[in-house]
């Protein structure tokens, strides 16, 4: 089981030299702490996502790595070199902004060439590398256009080419998809991931969209209120959230009112009504048997029990409150009475519903997964 200290150095991490390393980096804006002692190691070629709601400190963290902000505490290393005091233009990082920030007074080719010119590279070499970069993002022949003559997707490719052409030590992406419409977004995500893997460029991606984060990342750092809450692979973040915030921010979660019945080193027993389930003990550290806990159950891990309920399967009785047709499935909201403060959500195949249940029907449900977690009961 993971412990608190493991957050900073997960055991799953290969023993390579990190490309980016943050040692207790802190940033304040006046009285407010925007980032509280961030510890982070990013290995070569890794796609690391900083995920969290707006104001969680993820953009601050990105700006600190880029050198646009100065840290109030802690150290930042890029490629093993201490860069805490290094100005942005000497850090050798590539960045793609939310609005792309293409220079409106330069052609596409000159935008891409900008970083090469600052490095004093010869004209022939610049031309070759610009053409190469344009080909990489499938924009051959667009070099002479001005940014405003391009579509949103094309502008993003130019921004990516401009950031990659300087062969940065690390690529920073600041919500790059938020300005694109839904269909384009999906195809750009696949393309970006492809390019990233082909070049093997270490990437830090900032987003508030958990779908993007789960589908693209090697690892995700979930942030909230200026703190990194958990760093882990997408599956682990989803299945084994380490704290209450992560559990409720990533994916949907039903919260059941349970009681801690027994604790061992690794595993704890939680009972809800006649149900008894096993959860990891770590998040409940310090609680004694009999304490109130909140049991988190994903909607897809909650299933209806047919008939009167078989003798082998203990379950909870509830009343169907609302059904919401979602196309491929139906969202069923079930009132569990004393066992949950809010009606719980479960997903049923659209083929069964709505004929199978009517609003007001009594239905029995039970959780069917090993991936359940519980946290100390929260007041209110």
| Nearest distance from C-beta of residue 195 to other proteins, angstroms | 18
Q: By CB under 8 A, what part of segment 87-106 binds other proteins?
A: 87-95, 97, 99, 101, 103-105
In the set 70, 140, 194, 252, which binds other proteins (CB under 8 A)? 70
User: Binding to other proteins by residue 66, rule CB under 8 A?
Assistant: yes
User: Binding to other proteins by residue 166, rule CB under 8 A?
Assistant: yes
Task: Give the DSSP H or E segment for 249.
Answer: helix 244-249
| Nearest distance from C-beta of residue 111 to other proteins, angstroms | 9
| Nearest distance from C-beta of residue 153 to other proteins, angstroms | 19
Q: Which residues contact 346 (CB under 8 A, 6 or more apart)?
A: 254, 299, 302, 303, 304, 331, 332, 334, 365
> Of 233, 173, 234, 236, nearest to 207 (Cα)?
173
| Nearest distance from C-beta of residue 365 to other proteins, angstroms | 45
Choose between 39 and 114: whose C-beta lies nearer to other proteins: 114
In the set 69, 195, 228, 340, which binds other proteins (CB under 8 A)? 69
Dist CA 194 CA 198 (whole Å): 6
| Nearest distance from C-beta of residue 129 to other proteins, angstroms | 13
Q: 71-90 mask for other proteins (x: CB under 8 A)? A: ----------------xxxx
| CB half-sphere exposure, 235, CA atoms < 13 A | 1
Residues near other proteins (CB under 8 A), total: 28
Dist CA 275 CA 277 (whole Å): 7
Dist CA 113 CA 118 (whole Å): 9
| Nearest distance from C-beta of residue 115 to other proteins, angstroms | 3
Q: Which residues contact 105 (CB under 8 A, 6 or more apart)?
A: none
User: Binding to other proteins by residue 114, rule CB under 8 A?
Assistant: yes
User: Binding to other proteins by residue 198, rule CB under 8 A?
Assistant: no
User: Binding to other proteins by residue 262, rule CB under 8 A?
Assistant: no
| Nearest distance from C-beta of residue 213 to other proteins, angstroms | 22
User: Binding to other proteins by residue 276, rule CB under 8 A?
Assistant: no
List, in sequence order, every residue forming a beta bridge with 223; answer none if it has no partner.
228
Q: Which residues contact 230 (CB under 8 A, 6 or more apart)?
A: 7, 220, 221, 222, 237, 241, 242, 243, 246
User: Binding to other proteins by residue 19, rule CB under 8 A?
Assistant: no
> Of 66, 17, 9, nearest to 39 (Cα)?
9
Choose between 39 and 68: whose C-beta lies nearer to other proteins: 68
Tell me, rounded to whole angstroms, the distance of Cα 98 from its chain centroid. Answer: 17
User: Binding to other proteins by residue 136, rule CB under 8 A?
Assistant: no
Q: Give the interface with other proteins as residue ranges (CB under 8 A).
A: 66-70, 87-95, 97, 99, 101, 103-105, 114-115, 118-119, 162-163, 166, 172
């Amino acid at each position: 089981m993971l412990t608190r200290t493991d957050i900073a150095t997960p055991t799953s991490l290969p023993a390579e030299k990190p490309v980016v390393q943050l040692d207790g980096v802190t940033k304040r804006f006046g009285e407010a702490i925007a980032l509280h002692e961030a510890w982070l190691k990013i290995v070569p070629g890794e796609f690391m996502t900083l995920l969290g709601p707006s104001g969680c400190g993820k953009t601050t963290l990105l700006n600190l790595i880029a050198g646009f902000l100065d840290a109030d505490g802690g150290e930042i290393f890029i490629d093993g070199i201490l860069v805490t005091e290094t100005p942005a233009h000497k850090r050798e990082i590539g960045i793609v902004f939310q609005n792309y920030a293409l220079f409106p007074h330069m052609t596409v080719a000159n935008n891409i060439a900008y970083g090469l010119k600052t490095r004093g590279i010869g004209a022939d070499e610049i031309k070759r590398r610009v053409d190469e970069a344009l080909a990489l993002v499938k924009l051959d022949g667009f070099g002479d256009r001005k940014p405003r003559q391009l579509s949103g997707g094309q502008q993003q490719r130019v921004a990516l080419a401009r950031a990659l052409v300087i062969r940065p030590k690390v690529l920073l992406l600041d919500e790059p998809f938020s300005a694109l419409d839904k269909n384009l977004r999906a195809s750009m995500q696949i393309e970006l991931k492809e390019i990233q893997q082909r070049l093997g460029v270490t990437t830090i991606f900032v987003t508030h969209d958990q779908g993007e984060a789960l589908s693209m990342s090697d690892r995700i750092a979930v942030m909230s209120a200026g703190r990194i809450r958990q760093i882990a692979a997408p599956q682990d973040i989803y299945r084994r959230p380490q704290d209450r915030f992560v559990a409720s921010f990533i994916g949907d979660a039903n919260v059941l009112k349970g009681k801690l019945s027994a604790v061992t080193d690794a595993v704890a027993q939680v009972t809800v009504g006649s149900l008894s389930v096993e959860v990891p003990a770590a998040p409940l550290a310090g609680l004694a048997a009999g304490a109130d806990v909140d049991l988190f159950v994903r909607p897809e891990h909650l299933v209806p029990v047919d008939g009167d309920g078989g003798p082998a399967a203990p379950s909870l009785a509830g009343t169907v409150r609302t059904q919401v047709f979602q196309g491929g499935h139906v969202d069923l909201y079930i009132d569990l009475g004393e066992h949950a403060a809010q009606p719980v959500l479960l997903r049923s195949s659209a083929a069964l519903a709505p004929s199978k249940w009517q609003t007001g029907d009594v239905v029995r449900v039970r959780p069917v997964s090993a991936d359940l977690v519980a946290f100390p009961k929260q007041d209110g």
